[in-house]
Amino acid sequence: MERRGAQRRQAEQALGLTAGLTAEEIQRYGRHLCLAGVGEEGQRRIRSARALVVGVGGLGSPIALYLAAAGVGVLGMADPDVVELSNLQRQIAHGTDSLGAPKVESAAHRIGDLNPGVRVDAVAMKLGRDNAAQLVAGYDVVVDALDSLRDRFILSDACVAMGRPMVHGAVSGWMGEAMTYVPGRGPCYRCVFGGATDVAATDVAAADVVVRDDDCPSADGACAGLEEDGPEALGVLSSVPGVIGAIEATEVLKLITGAGEPLVGRLLLWDGMRMKFDQIEVKADPACRACGGR
């Protein structure tokens, strides 16, 4: 028993969980410290966590800001785009002064003002088959704030291969959805949106995540997820990404602290027009080429 206790203390020290909060942190995170499910231990876990937000647009903006405000120790952001005027209707991490600047740099500047205690890893890079596994490898939890079904499959498959949890979200018009994947506990994104496939489940090597161009059917087919800013330039109410982004950030903080019940095996649907939430129970697909129903 004593030996196990010593091993646990060593592991906590390696994670930085035993280091006390500073006076500034106690003041900054006071509303967390008195909150059931977080408290001082939870805040230390948040401070020690490494979270990656892929996409810093409508969804990624509130996600990154809320995670930074919560005090996530290392916040990675990946996005290849620059800030455009049409983004400012909903992408609240950016401002008029950031027009033409890389989104990751614009968001990093905003986060630096919001919480200078957060270390930001800004990666102005397009997610692809060749870099997805390497990108997610350095983080504890990954957040999908993408606007492309194909890119979501790439990111999800990389998370499965690397054993990283992924929080998914998507919006369109007045609606949004969210779901959380935790390795070994429920379906991955491909299980839910990949549709039936006659391709046998493959053992995807962590360093070589392969997703073919035909892995994602058309949006009107079996993987009809919601788009944030797809090629059809679908409309979206300015506040809708904020709602779903806040839900995604909440899921991340729950995974980090161990509090509550994450959206594992549940697809949350939100209809802003009718102000109604629904959820659908979803299960792992034994024929899934990414996770094989693990």
Q: Do 106 and 98 contact (CB within 8 A), yes or no?
A: yes
Phi-psi region of 193 (alpha: psi -120 to 50; beta: other; left: phi over 0): alpha
Residues with Cβ within 8 Å of residue 192, at least 6 apart in sequence: 179, 267, 282
Contacts 24+ apart (CB under 8 A), 106-114: 106/56, 107/56, 107/60, 107/61, 107/64, 107/77, 108/77, 110/65, 111/64, 111/65, 111/68, 111/75, 114/65, 114/68, 114/69
- Distances 27 to 24, 110, 164 between C-alpha atoms, Å: 5, 21, 32
**The one catalytic residue among 188, 191, 216, 288:** 216
Question: Positive or negative, the Cα torsion across 182, 292, 162, 6?
Answer: positive
Q: How far apart are CA 24 and CA 18, in angstroms?
A: 17
Gyration radius of the chain's alpha carbons: 19
User: Is 216 annotated as catalytic?
Assistant: yes
Q: How far apart are CA 187 and CA 175, in angstroms?
A: 22
Query: Which are the catalytic amino acids?
Result: 216
